[in-house]
Amino acid sequence: MDSPPFVTRASPLGGVGNFASRFLAAGELVLLDADFIPLPAPASPDVYESLGMSSAAAEKDRAAPHSAESLASYLSAFAGLPAASRERWLSLSAGPVPAPLSAKIAAVVAADPAAPPRAAAALGAACCNAFAPSALYLSGLSRFNHSCEPCCIYLHEGTGDAPGPISVRALRDVEEGEELTVSYLGLRLYAPRSLRREALRESKFFECGCGRCGKGGGEEELKVPCPSCHPRERRLEPEVEYEETEVEYVRVSEPPSADGVAASCPKSGEAIHATCQPLVVARAVCRQVFSHLACPPPSEEEAAADDEELLALASAVCGPRHSATCLMSLAALDRNLQRVNRSLALGEAPDELDLAEGIDSLGRLGC
């Protein structure tokens, strides 16, 4: 494409960002970034021995957003680049890295006697700017700030799991001068505010201040059958779970008010406290779903089985309109579509069960 339809300047969201230099229509191509440095998948288990970590500590670290094994792989990639490419890598913006991660980076660099100069800065930049599949993009993609109400979406144009070009397109009409934002959260964009912000703090080291995160009051993402109208300890009655009867819903506020009130009954006006058992259980299930999406099992079979189990649990505890249920329905739909696409790419007929499960997921989502 010709020169991109945006300019880069200081952003109210922090640092710098990209702003539309003219009107952009929904669906319009904003950027195609094919200038990237691949980052290898974590494959350096010896780093844990070098750091003196026990097997239990290593296992826990592997589940972290930036594991020592990932950092060692980034270091290997950086060390293998020519000087000019290293400079381009180091030119990527990196905000303040939290002290625990900074200490881990320093330890990984110190454990490698062949680490090149400025390796610690390079690892910090990789943590802030890597896109999945793991790669650093150098022609503008890293300048798109995050919003939980993004006006753009980025799409992988490559094939399979290997890094490839990424395109950015407008999700809606965008006015000249408006900041062009994307989401860094994937499916977790549809999670409650507290979990979205927690994920961004842990993975990208900033506190999201977008308009959606700034809204107070009950959240649509935390919509559950009213505990007063539909009493339960843990699981909903089937007719409530599947909306086979009239269901009264409440939108839960997190955090609750100063006196602990998280919602009020739509019929009686009775205060519903955050400590009531149905809300406590729903909160625990929501966090379990979020953790699963952030770090799914490595094998597709395990992940699919966990998806099915968590979808059933979220539906039974939180109801069909809570974000936990919707997120697991989206994850199931995404998995089905990947299998269908794989079959079509091979010239095979899609499995009828995959199609049926995809239609079921769409039905759960109200599509």
What pLDDT, on the 0 to 100 scale, is given for residue 148? 95
Neighbours of 244 (CB within 10 A): 10
pLDDT tens-digit map of 162-209 = 788 999 999 999 999 999 999 999 888 989 999 999 999 988 888 898
What pTM value is reported for the model?
A: 0.83
pLDDT tens-digit map of 275-326 = 999 999 999 999 999 988 888 877 778 888 888 899 999 999 999 999 999 9
What is the pLDDT of the chain when averaged over all its residues? 89
Q: Is the pLDDT of residue 367 over 60?
A: no
Query: Do the Cβ atoms of 69 and 62 come closer than 8 Å?
Result: yes
What pLDDT, on the 0 to 100 scale, is given for residue 120? 95
Q: What is the dihedral of CA 206, 207, 212, 218, to 10 degrees?
A: 140
Q: On the CB side of 323, how many CA atoms lie within 13 Å of its CA?
A: 24
With CA atoms as reference, report the closest residue to 310 among 318, 300, 301.
318
pLDDT bracket for residue 133 (50, 70, 90)? low
Per-domain residue ranges for the chain?
Answer: 6-37+138-183, 40-129, 189-367
pLDDT tens-digit map of 205-257 = 888 989 899 887 778 999 999 999 999 989 999 999 999 999 999 999 988 99
Coil, helix or strand at residue 86: helix
pLDDT tens-digit map of 25-56 = 999 999 999 999 988 877 667 888 888 999 89
For the domain covering 6-37+138-183, report its CATH number: 2.170.270.10
With CA atoms as reference, report the closest residue to 148 among 205, 203, 188, 89.
188
